[in-house]
Amino acid sequence: MTISFIDLAAQQRRIKPQIDAAIARVLAHGAYVMGPEVKQFETQLAAFAGIKHAVSCANGTEALALPLMAWGIGPGDAVFCPSFTFAATGEVIPWLGASPVFVDILPETYNIDPDRLRAAILAIRNDGKLTPRAIIAVDLFGQPADYPAIAAIAKEFGLKLIADSAQGFGCTLDGKHPGAWADVVTTSFFPAKPLGCYGDGGAVLTDDDWLAERIDSLRVHGKAVASDLEGATFEHDPKYLNMRVGINSRLDTIQAAILIEKLKIFADELEKRDAIAARYAAGLKGSVAQTPTVIDGGTSVWAQYTIEHANRDGLAAHLKLLGVPTAAYYPMPMHAQDCYSIYPRPGGLPVSEAKAKTVLALPMHPYLDIETQAKIIDGVRSFNG
Ligand SMILES: Cc1ncc(COP(=O)(O)O)c(C=O)c1O
């Protein structure tokens, strides 16, 4: 028996006829770019997250860049984010000429530490070289960051707040999605994500009418949108008016059609993931240094099930011999990579550095059966390193 780290084939078997039919419909109507399924999916996605607007785009990385572009963030500006995250979170900031400022995480949840965030903002403000403009909090491994605390800090300093929910789309805190606190929620539909498509895709979600319209413009080369055209007359087709410098970041119609089918089973899949996480927690108790802790009042979508072990690499090698795949997310925080080492990290990042050495993600997907999971748990328990 081979154990999958993430079993996309099992999910496909469950809804294959619906997926095939959805793809066939797109092939039949032929509107491959910005076809009707794109708007339909955006409406359904916004409803799922309890947010007014969802604007889809080409991937979760550009979903982060688009609001920064819309807000005019650029050279001389500081954007605060964790270092213990996937590189995309911080990568988009220098794209715009701005500077990431790396902030340490909480040891239990791996999400940005509000106290360290506040201290970092004060340090950057006192230093006077950069202007604090925005915060990107990450819902790492699937659980929400401490949004009430982070949103209060954003308000105190007049900063924009992005929830990078590429791994956490569908998570809640006190029954609410991150959009209840953040100006913008972004997500990724990369195939391995809890809500993934069959290629690249992403979305930006917001309650802000102005921002949604601006991002709709920016994702299609800065095209003219309704507010640009109000009261204006044109000698030529306004389709070719470029009101601002944009990019090409659209979700393919075929991917939207696939996501419509996947969204129908998403809530059920989240329940399954939760049950699997509970089985891991019970089975692994006492055998590893740490099993995941979810923030009080929070739910996780369990993009990853991350445990900790002092001999992480030894445990990974032991599991590999038993046929259990694992992954270390992330073995190197962003600031430890050469190309990001130049950016500020006031107060240092001791927790991020320590966690990079001990974290190990176990197989996690909604179709992990009890027998296979028992084998994984036994494998971890049998490690004597
Ligand atoms: C935390 C985080 N942010 C952003 C991204 C970027 O998403 P994408 O790969 O769709 O560009 C990812 C995933 O890959 C991610 O895990």
Spatial contact of 80 and 113, defined as CB atoms under 8 Å apart: no
pLDDT beyond 90 at 260: yes
pLDDT beyond 90 at 235: no
Q: Are strands 131-138 and 359-362 parallel, antiparallel or unpaired?
A: unpaired
pLDDT beyond 80 at 197: yes
User: Residue 289's pLDDT is what?
Assistant: 82
Give the residue, out of 110, 141, 167, with the most ligand 1 atoms within 8 A of its beta carbon, to mutate for a pocket test: 167
Measured in angstroms, how far is the CA atom of residue 163 from the centroid of ligand 1? 12
Mean pLDDT across 206-210? 98
Residues with CB under 6 A from ligand 1: 59-61, 85-86, 88-89, 138, 164, 166-167, 188, 190, 200, 202
Spatial contact of 263 and 48, defined as CB atoms under 8 Å apart: yes
Give the residue, out of 86, 306, 329, with the most ligand 1 atoms within 8 A of its beta carbon, to mutate for a pocket test: 86
Least confident of 148-152, 241-245, 274-278, 295-299: 241-245
Residue 252 in 3-state DSSP?
strand
User: Residue 239's pLDDT is what?
Assistant: 81
CB atoms within 10 A of CB 248: 11
Measured in angstroms, how far is the CA atom of residue 186 from the centroid of ligand 1? 9
The backbone torsions φ and ψ at residue 364, rounded to the nearest 5 degrees and listed phi first, read -155, 120
Give the residue, out of 188, 195, 204, 334, with the most ligand 1 atoms within 8 A of its beta carbon, to mutate for a pocket test: 188
User: Residue 174's pLDDT is what?
Assistant: 98
Ligand 1 atom closest to the Cα of residue 303 is 16
Give the residue, out of 190, 250, 252, 334, with the most ligand 1 atoms within 8 A of its beta carbon, to mutate for a pocket test: 190
Q: How confident is the model at residue 234 (pLDDT cuts 50, 70, 90)?
A: confident
The CA–CA distances, whole Å, from 163 to 90, 103, 344 equal 13, 15, 21
pLDDT beyond 80 at 1: no
Instruction: Sort 54 into a burial class: Cβ within 10 Å, 0-12 / 13-18 / 19+.
Output: buried
Give the residue, out of 61, 79, 198, with the most ligand 1 atoms within 8 A of its beta carbon, to mutate for a pocket test: 61
Counting every residue written for the chain, the total comes to 385
Q: Which residue's C-alpha comes closest to atom 13 of ligand 1?
A: 166
Vertex 295 angle, CA 291 and 300, to 5°: 70
Instruction: Please give the residue that has the higher pLDDT: either 126 or 385.
Output: 126
Return d(Cα 268, Cα 203) in angstroms, integer: 21
Q: Which residue's C-alpha comes closest to atom 12 of ligand 1?
A: 166
User: Residue 232's pLDDT is what?
Assistant: 83
Measured in angstroms, how far is the CA atom of residue 60 from the centroid of ligand 1? 5
Measured in angstroms, how far is the CA atom of residue 237 from the centroid of ligand 1? 36
The CA–CA distances, whole Å, from 354 to 51, 104, 137, 350 equal 36, 11, 20, 6
Ligand 1 atom closest to the Cα of residue 167 is 16
Which residue, chain included where needed, has tokens 């509107």?
Answer: 31
Ligand 1 atom closest to the Cα of residue 88 is 4
User: Residue 236's pLDDT is what?
Assistant: 82
pLDDT beyond 80 at 31: yes
Measured in angstroms, how far is the CA atom of residue 61 from the centroid of ligand 1? 6
Spatial contact of 372 and 3, defined as CB atoms under 8 Å apart: yes
Q: Which residue's C-alpha comes closest to atom 10 of ligand 1?
A: 60
What percent of the chain shows pLDDT beyond 70? Answer: 100
Q: 142-187, pLDDT tens digit by residue? A: 999 999 999 999 999 999 999 999 999 999 999 999 999 999 999 9
pLDDT beyond 90 at 290: no
Measured in angstroms, how far is the CA atom of residue 335 from the centroid of ligand 1? 17
Mean pLDDT across 9-27? 98
Q: 302-353, pLDDT tens digit by residue? A: 999 999 999 999 999 999 999 999 999 999 999 999 999 999 999 999 999 9
Among the listed residues 383, 82, 38, the one whose alpha carbon sits nearest the alpha carbon of residue 197: 38
Ligand 1 atom closest to the Cα of residue 85 is 1
Mean pLDDT across 356-361? 98
Mean pLDDT across 193-214? 98
DSSP-based helix, strand, coil % in the chain, nearest 5: 45, 15, 40
Mean pLDDT across 19-32? 98
Measured in angstroms, how far is the CA atom of residue 88 from the centroid of ligand 1? 6
Please give the structure tokens belonging to residue 369. 């059966």
Measured in angstroms, how far is the CA atom of residue 281 from the centroid of ligand 1? 26
Q: 104-129, pLDDT tens digit by residue? A: 999 999 999 999 999 999 999 999 99
Return d(Cα 212, Cα 53) in angstroms, integer: 6
pLDDT beyond 90 at 385: no
Ligand 1 atom closest to the Cα of residue 189 is 10
Per-position b or e across 352-376, b if 16+ CB within 10 A of its CB? bbebbebbbbbbbbbbbeeebbebb
**pTM, 2 dp:** 0.98
